[in-house]
């Protein structure tokens, strides 16, 4: 490539370029004289503070400072003018700006001195850190959310400490930043990260005292890695308290600001302040001509996109645009060139950059025009939103996982509450203990109400995945049209009503257990998709082509005859054999009658405590009747029956409505003496008592301990029609 074709901004007047960089910087820049009067402001100052340029020029800089800080500010300014240097303002303090409307917002401020013929000036670069402050508050909101989130953040050292400062958790970002493996650091004092000078000055102890007193404490300084090397760190320590406001520990976030520190040192030594601002911007800055050829870039472009400067100069800026957007990009560029002004590109849209390796990452782009001797150029200031998106995704994931964890805490069924001593139940529990230690797929079979979900939870709790989430999905309880989105999730705009990204149950169960209840009701069109996800360990959200890896342990359950469904072509054979790796058959209650007295006593005690009753005795004749009954709804029906009995009981002796268990003897065919005939008559009796109402808390399904869809299936199988009970 010739020197002419590789022309860059070296031929452009530096003053013109740097003035444009000053004007269109994404940060607010205020220039003041030695008396603190404002001499220059850029456009971002007007946007951040709400003043026009004319309203600020000549005014004291205290105009932009909250009133509570104004009294001390002149002395701080005089001290700075006495020893000017490039440095952040108010290290360790929370600084705020004051808008014209009286509202305040948090800021970071970098001060730089400039000597001019008219005297010394001070350049203040102000960055609105409202979003960062809110993110930090969200991250430190609760210990549980902190633990769910930290494993997904690789760029920060995030860990918990006990009240004395000993490390109790350690995330991958901390291992990468500080060099310690979890087993090397957990239990040690966090003072080992400080320099000997800081330890001698008791800085670690002071940090904990201030964090405990203020709830949140932030400072910057040198820290030490395991190998003895030092890095400049930004540290936030937040106190963690219980519901009684007692201190129970601290959360600590450490970020490596060494690069920023180095940039500050370069700025301190540099005589070209604006050029340094260009080179060391945290954002990628690209200067391109009207034809879209790249004329100049800063170092951050190389880091963001993976190209060297030599590879990009003279190339079309489209090389950094994902291929699916390239067709429309020239038209957008020409439209901008015709109406050049400072503005966000694609406001309201999700924009992406394309790296050299073909991968994409989300960005914000600010466009600004600049006039040079060679013509107009466009400055594109590009901010990488990857960390922000990942943090938002992690927060969204943690919120949904929190819901499932709360459901787990509210669910009363636990492995230790599996009641019974029968041979059949002991055989099931032996199978549970055997298979839980493995990672194979389990298919739980059994009639409704036999405790399939309890067994699924027991398998999860006894497995190596018990520290992760057990995510449940009832395939019969969700409309078929919504089931795919619920299972795999969807992207924003994937279909009408998809106003935001949704994380599906499969993704939430990553590293944990996915329990698919009523698997026999999974629609045929979804069966190959869940089969592929299980076999390939990856899937795509609805509306996305991005493949997401997933590692789940599957437990499925059904009360249907899947083998017959396969024969009837109502269920895929390949999925059936994938599910039936380790089947567990739960015996119905009528086949473990010796367990009924134990269950009766357990449910009487449980519901007596819940309803504040004191029931001490179950009459022998009642227990015999309960033991003789076949319980077509199994344990769920038995529990519902006992709960009704407890409600009806006024004294210490259980009063059970045994009339519900009496089977009417009718002159019927020989087949009517079968269990199926008894079950049919029992269902008909309950339907008559509920006046044909099936669903709802007082419907027949609830009284029988069944879900609505299961009762409808039984009625169809037994030939029960509406005319039989209305």
Q: Is 148 found in the same domain as 121? A: no
Q: Is the pTM of this model over 0.85?
A: no
Over pLDDT 90: what percentage of the chain? 47
**Closest Cα to residue 368, out of 285, 273, 275?**
285
* Residue found by looking up tokens 């709830």 in the block: 215
Contact 97, 135 (CB under 8 A): no
What pLDDT shows up at residue 342? 58
Give the residue, 402 or 356, on which the prediction is more confident. Answer: 356
Domain final residue, candidates 128, 161, 193: 128
Strand pairing partners for 380?
286, 367
Least confident of 219-233, 291-305, 652-666: 652-666
55 and 178, same domain (yes or no): no
Is the same domain home to 320 and 250? no
Closest CA to 545 of 291, 360, 284: 360
Indicate whether 401 belongs to any domain: no
Q: Is residue 10 part of a domain?
A: no
pLDDT tens for each residue of 330-343: 666 665 555 555 55
Q: Which residues contact 619 (CB under 8 A, 6 or more apart)?
A: 653, 654
Residue 266 in domain:
no
How many distinct structural domains can be found in the chain?
5
Q: What is the mean pLDDT of residues 135-149?
A: 55
187 shares its domain with 201: yes
Given a contact cutoff of 8 angstroms between Cβ atoms, the answer to whether 302 and 308 are in contact is: yes
Q: Taking residues 659-680, report their average pLDDT.
A: 57
Q: At what angle do helices 596-610 and 620-628 cross, to 10 degrees?
A: 120
> How much is the pLDDT for 327?
66
Q: Are residues 565 and 452 both part of a single domain? A: yes
Instruction: Read off the pLDDT of residues 238-252 as tens digits, 9 standing for 90 and up.
Output: 999 988 889 999 999
569 and 514 housed in the same domain: yes
Residues in Cβ contact with 422 at an 8 Å cutoff, skipping those fewer than 6 apart: 587, 592, 594, 595
**Run of H or E including 338:** helix 329-338
Residue 424 sits in the same domain as residue 570: yes
Coil, strand or helix at 547? coil
Q: Which residues pair with 289 in a beta bridge?
A: 377
Instruction: Note the pLDDT of residue 269.
Output: 61
Binned at pLDDT 50, 70 and 90, residue 553 comes out as very high
Rounded CA-CA distance 489/495 in Å is 12
Tell whether 439 and 381 lie within a shared domain.
no
**CATH code of the domain covering residue 209:** 3.30.450.20
Picking from 344, 271, 278, 316, the residue whose alpha carbon sits closest to that of residue 16 is 278
Residue 551 structural domain: 411-585
**pLDDT band at residue 2 using 50, 70 and 90 as cut-offs:** very low
Query: 325-376, pLDDT tens digit by residue?
Result: 776 666 666 655 555 555 566 555 678 889 999 888 888 888 877 777 677 7
Q: In the structure encoding, which two tokens stand for residue 247, read together?
A: 């201190």
Same domain, yes or no: 298 and 379: yes
Whether the Cβ atoms of residue 219 and residue 235 lie closer than 8 Å to each other:
yes
591 CB contacts (<8 Å, ≥6 apart)? 424
Pick from 585, 613, 628: which residue ends a domain?
585
Tokens of 482: 């919504």
Give the domain-ending residue among 543, 559, 585.
585
Q: Strand, helix or coil at 207? A: helix
pLDDT band for 264, please (50, 70, 90 cuts): confident
β-strand 104-116 against 582-585: which pairing, if any? unpaired
Lowest-pLDDT choice from 171-175, 299-303, 337-341, 621-625: 337-341
* Nearest to 600, CA basis, from 625, 574, 564: 625
Distances (CA, A) of 375 to 165, 342, 366, 539: 60, 17, 20, 49
Q: What is the pLDDT of residue 14?
A: 60
Question: Which position has the token pair 């790296």?
Answer: 355
Read off the pLDDT of residues 594-643 as tens digits, 9 standing for 90 and up.
999 999 999 999 999 999 999 999 999 999 999 999 998 899 999 999 99
In 3D space, the residue among 683, 697, 622, 610 whose CA is nearest the CA of residue 647 turns out to be 610
Residue with tokens 């409505």: 657
604 and 580 share one domain: no
Q: What is the DSSP letter of 500?
A: S
The overall average pLDDT reported for the chain is: 84
Q: List residues bridging with 105 in a β-sheet.
A: 97
Question: Distance between CA 677 and CA 692 in Å, rounded?
Answer: 19
485-531 pLDDT tens trace: 999 999 888 888 787 888 899 999 999 999 999 999 999 999 999 99
What is the maximal distance between C-alpha atoms in the chain?
Answer: 117
452-461 vs 423-436: helix axis angle to the nearest 10? 40
Please check whether residues 441 and 567 belong to one and the same domain: yes
Which helix or strand (DSSP H or E) is residue 56 part of? helix 53-56
Q: Residue 545: inside a domain, yes or no?
A: yes
70: tokens are 């104004």
Query: Which residues are CB-contacts of 325 (< 8 A; sequence separation ≥ 6)?
Result: 352
Provide mean pLDDT across the span 292-307.
90
Extract the tokens encoding 286: 């690209």
Cα–Cα distances in angstroms (integers) from residue 618 to residues 254, 594, 600, 703, 715, in the given order: 62, 16, 9, 21, 33
Give pLDDT, residue 722. Answer: 82
Q: Do 605 and 575 belong together in one domain?
A: no
Looking at the predicted structure, is the pLDDT value of residue 412 above 60?
no
What CATH number should be reported for the domain holding residue 468?
Answer: 3.40.50.300
> Strand 284-289 vs strand 247-256: parallel, antiparallel, or unpaired?
unpaired
**Nearest-angstrom CA–CA distance, 567 and 588:** 25
**Rounded to 5 degrees, what are φ and ψ at 451?**
100, 35
Yes or no: say if 216 and 140 are a contact pair by the CB < 8 Å rule. Answer: yes
Note the residue count of the chain: 726
- Report the distance separating Cα 187 and Cα 167, nearest Å: 5
Which tens digits make up the pLDDT trace of 12-60? 566 676 777 788 888 999 999 989 999 999 999 999 999 999 999 999 9
Q: Alpha-carbon Rg of the chain, whole angstroms?
A: 34
Strand positions, DSSP E, 242-374 = 247-256, 284-289, 294-297, 343-344, 351-354, 360-372
Mean pLDDT of 225-250: 92
Q: What is the CATH number of the domain that holds 700?
A: 1.10.8.60
pLDDT at 563 over 80: yes
Residue 2 lies in a domain: no
CB 252 within 8 A of CB 161: yes
More confident residue, 307 or 82: 307
């Amino acid at each position: 490539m010739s020197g002419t074709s590789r022309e860059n901004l070296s031929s452009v007047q530096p003053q013109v370029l740097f003035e444009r960089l000053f004007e269109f910087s994404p940060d607010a820049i205020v220039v003041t004289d030695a008396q603190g009067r404002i001499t220059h402001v850029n456009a971002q100052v007007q946007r951040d503070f709400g003043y026009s340029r004319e309203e600020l020029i000549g005014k004291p800089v205290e105009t932009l400072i909250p009133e509570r800080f104004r009294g001390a500010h002149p002395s701080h300014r005089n001290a700075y003018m006495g020893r000017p240097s490039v440095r952040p303002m108010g290290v360790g303090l929370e600084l705020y700006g004051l808008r014209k409307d009286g509202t305040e917002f948090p800021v970071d401020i970098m001060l730089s001195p400039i000597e001019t013929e008219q005297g010394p000036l001070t350049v203040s670069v102000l960055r609105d850190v409202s979003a960062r402050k809110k993110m930090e508050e969200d991250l430190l909101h609760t210990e549980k959310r902190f633990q769910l989130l930290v494993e997904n953040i690789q760029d920060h050292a995030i860990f918990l400490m006990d009240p004395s400062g000993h490390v109790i958790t350690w995330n991958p970002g901390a291992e990468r930043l500080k060099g310690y493996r979890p087993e090397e650091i957990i239990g040690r004092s966090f003072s080992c990260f400080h320099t000997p000078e800081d330890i001698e000055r008791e800085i670690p102890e002071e940090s904990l005292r201030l964090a405990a007193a203020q709830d949140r404490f932030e400072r910057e300084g040198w820290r030490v890695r395991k190998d003895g090397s030092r890095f400049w760190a930004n540290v936030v320590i937040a106190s963690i308290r219980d519901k009684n406001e007692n201190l129970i520990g601290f959360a600590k976030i450490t970020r490596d600001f060494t690069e920023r520190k180095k940039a500050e040192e370069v700025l301190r030594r540099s005589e070209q302040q604006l050029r340094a601002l260009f080179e060391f911007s945290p954002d990628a800055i690209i200067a391109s001509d009207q034809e879209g050829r790249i004329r100049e870039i800063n170092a951050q472009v190389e880091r963001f996109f993976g190209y060297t400067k030599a590879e990009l100069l003279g190339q079309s800026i489209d090389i950094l645009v994902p291929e699916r957007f390239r067709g429309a990009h020239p038209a957008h560029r020409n439209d901008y060139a015709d109406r050049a002004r400072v503005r966000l590109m694609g406001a309201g849209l999700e924009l992406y950059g394309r790296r050299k390796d073909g991968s994409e990452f989300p960005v914000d782009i600010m466009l600004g025009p600049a006039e040079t001797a060679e013509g107009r150029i466009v400055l594109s200031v590009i901010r990488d939103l990857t960390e922000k998106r990942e943090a938002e995704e992690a927060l969204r994931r943690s919120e949904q996982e929190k819901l499932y964890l709360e459901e787990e805490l509210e669910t009363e069924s636990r492995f230790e509450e599996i009641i019974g001593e029968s041979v059949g139940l002991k055989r099931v529990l032996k199978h549970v203990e055997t298979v839980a230690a493995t990672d194979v797929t389990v298919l739980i079979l059994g009639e409704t109400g036999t405790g399939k979900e309890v067994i699924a939870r027991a398998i999860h709790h006894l497995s190596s995945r018990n520290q992760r989430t057990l995510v449940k999905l009832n395939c019969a309880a969700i409309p078929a049209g919504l089931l795919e989105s619920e299972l795999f999730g969807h992207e924003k705009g994937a279909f009408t009503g998809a106003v935001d990204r949704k994380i599906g149950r499969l993704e939430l169960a990553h590293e944990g257990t996915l329990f698919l209840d009523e698997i026999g009701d999974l629609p045929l069109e979804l069966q190959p998709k869940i089969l592929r996800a299980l076999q390939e360990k990856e899937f795509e959200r609805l509306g996305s082509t991005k493949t997401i890896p997933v590692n789940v342990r599957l437990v499925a359950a059904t009360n249907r005859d899947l083998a017959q469904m396969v024969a009837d072509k109502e269920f895929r054979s390949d999925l059936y054999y994938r599910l039936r790796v380790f089947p567990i058959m739960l015996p119905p209650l009528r086949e473990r009658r010796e367990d009924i007295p134990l269950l009766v006593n357990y449910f009487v005690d449980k519901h007596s405590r819940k309803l504040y009753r004191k029931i001490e005795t179950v009459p022998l004749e009642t227990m015999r009747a309960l033991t003789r009954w076949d319980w077509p709804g199994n344990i769920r029906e038995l529990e519902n029956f006992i709960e009704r009995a407890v409600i009806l009981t006024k004294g210490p002796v259980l009063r059970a409505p045994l009339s519900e268990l009496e089977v009417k003897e009718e002159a019927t065919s020989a087949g009517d003496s079968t269990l199926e005939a008894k079950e049919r008559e029992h269902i008909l009796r309950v339907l008559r008592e509920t006046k044909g109402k099936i669903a709802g808390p007082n419907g027949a399904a609830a009284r029988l301990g069944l879900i609505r869809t299961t009762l409808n299936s039984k009625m169809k199988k037994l030939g029960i029609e509406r005319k039989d009970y209305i």
